[in-house]
């Protein structure tokens, strides 16, 4: 009977420890999977960011701005008669 009193708490502690280990391993795997998913998402966003930067640099080139000014806004360089030289 005395052995049962000593053995029963030890069995409970061992079982709790085993369940805790399994739970910790499960959480670790779940968090690792989430980390991998977030890394893939980050990589996709970095690719998209690079594409957006390239697109922005394309749309803001001097030639593109000049073309839009000429076509959309009907702008043109001033003639020599339209220029005025100011001295300080």
Q: Is residue 35 part of a domain?
A: yes
Contact criterion met (CB below 8 Å) for 69 and 75: yes
Q: What is the mean pLDDT of residues 43-53?
A: 97
pLDDT of residue 43: 98
87 in a structural domain:
no
Higher-scoring residue by pLDDT: 38, 67: 38
Q: Is residue 84 a part of any domain in this protein?
A: no
Q: Which residues 6+ apart lie within 8 Å of 64 measured at CB? A: 58
Distance CA(70)–CA(76), nearest Å, equals: 6
Higher pLDDT, 84 or 42: 42
Q: Is 59 a residue whose pLDDT tops 90?
A: no
**Mean per-residue pLDDT for 52-67?**
90
Q: What is the tens place of the pLDDT at every residue in 9-25? A: 999 999 999 999 999 99
What is the extent of the structural domain holding 6?
A: 2-66
Number of domains in the chain: 1
């Amino acid at each position: 009977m005395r052995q049962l009193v000593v053995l029963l708490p030890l069995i409970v502690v061992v079982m709790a420890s085993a369940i805790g280990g399994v739970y910790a391993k499960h959480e670790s795997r779940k968090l690792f999977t989430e980390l991998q998913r977030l890394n893939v998402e980050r990589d996709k966003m970095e690719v998209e960011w690079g594409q957006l930067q390239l697109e922005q640099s394309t749309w803001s080139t001097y030639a593109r701005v000049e073309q839009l000014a000429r076509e959309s806004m009907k702008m043109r360089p001033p003639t020599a008669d339209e220029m005025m030289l100011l001295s300080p």
